[in-house]
Structure 1
């Protein structure tokens, strides 16, 4: 028999010396027998319902259950979170948050999945904690966008800068690493011509890129979306978990695109 604790033990990444990790069991019983595992970017209500349909009672989620990085929620004020908690209880589900351990892997497990999905392994010159630095044959930004949309099955991305601009020095940042302190330094220190990230404040790196363009600098930006940049890493985690527990059904459940372009 495999219980929830067994799966958690197999997933735990390198220790955090400050013990600031958000990883851990968000809901459920550590000793419950695992009948099936669903791996996802975020345990949305739709994902939980699909997990029940396929018989998966342990959900491995990269992001938290209750709309906060630290999953702080007031059940009396947040009726949606309270209803979600009732659904978990009624269906005997366990949810394990697998975030920091995956990012602390060497290389970063989320980044590794994204690079593999884009078929860019051969272009990586350096793995930094916050970014992967790539050098590839010179190509235009719009061709990079076409490649990304095709490989990740995206309907759209957002971009700042001249799409016809050629580039070869690219920095890739997954998830919420698009802010000033992480994205702008790769423009400045690595001399990246193109930065690609998941999510970040719109008044920071995008506005920096706009001003850089106005000053004649060859710098452009592509914004994928948070889930869009991290789902490939969770899909890779699901494949590896399936190899670790071949006696259990392991499913990757993608989340549907969050925003509608209207």
Structure 2
């Protein structure tokens, strides 16, 4: 019999982290696992889909309560949180948060997942703890942005820089690592950064000034979820290998934002 605690024990040995947001958020560790669902964000829709596929354990990269460190206590009277918790109880669905551990794998499991999804494993020059540096066949910024959009099946991506600029050396920063503290020093090493998100007044504004000064720098922003979801798909593949007799499902989150343009498809 595989228990929730056994899954926790399998996840935890990556590295001891204290304090951590990882762990069992909802549920009891002694419960037998009948099926696992893996997702980037434990949205209401993801919870319902996990249960409909027969899973009684959901592993989510991000938290249930709309904040990185919140345990939900600050929103305990909120009707959205109350309904979410009630449905988890009704469905008998346990939730494990797995954020810190996967980011501390070597290489970072979320970064590696995005690179694998893009088919760029052979292009990696170096993995750093929070980033990766790749050397790709030269193509324009616009061509690269369109390729990334297509490979990740995204409704849109955003970029800053000259669309005709030719890019070869690329830095990858997943999730919220697109802020200036990480992205601006990395731009000294690469032509282009592909990131999840970050404050728009930091690295994107640095790129804007660099381009105005005649320097060839650019940045593509995928969104937080689209940059990290491939890493959770990678985790699901590892879970299938570790527990071959157990069904492991990937729950894809629907796009969070939608695009409106001037009569043009994204």
Bucket of the pairwise TM-score, normalised by the shorter protein: over 0.9
Show the counterpart of 1:180: 180
| CA shift for structure 1 position 13 | 4.4
| CA shift for structure 1 position 157 | 0.1
State whether residues 14 and 104 of structure 2, in contact with CA within 8 Å, keep that contact through their aligned partners in structure 1: yes
2 CA distance for matches of 1:12 and 1:77?
32
| CA shift for structure 1 position 57 | 0.6
Per-residue CA shift, 1:222-247, capped at 9, x if unaligned? 00011100111111110110111111
2 CA distance for matches of 1:56 and 1:14?
24
Show the counterpart of 2:231: 233
Show the counterpart of 1:132: 132
Show the counterpart of 2:63: 64
Show the counterpart of 1:141: 141
1 CA distance for matches of 2:138 and 2:79?
51
Q: Secondary structure at the match of 1:60?
A: strand
Per-residue CA shift, 1:55-95, capped at 9, x if unaligned? 10100000000000012432444221121111111111110
Q: Any unmatched runs of 5+ in structure 1?
A: none
Q: Any unmatched runs of 5+ in structure 2?
A: 261-266
Show the counterpart of 1:32: 31
State whether residues 155 and 258 of structure 2, in contact with CA within 8 Å, keep that contact through their aligned partners in structure 1: no
TM-score when normalising by structure 1: 0.96
Output the aligned Cα RMSD: 1.1
Greater shift, 84-93 or 55-64, is seen at: 84-93
| CA shift for structure 1 position 195 | 0.6
State whether residues 13 and 105 of structure 1, in contact with CA within 8 Å, keep that contact through their aligned partners in structure 2: no
- List 4+ stretches of structure 1 deviating above 6 A: none
- Number of aligned pairs? 259
Q: Secondary structure at the match of 1:218?
A: coil
TM-score when normalising by structure 2: 0.94
Show the counterpart of 1:55: 54
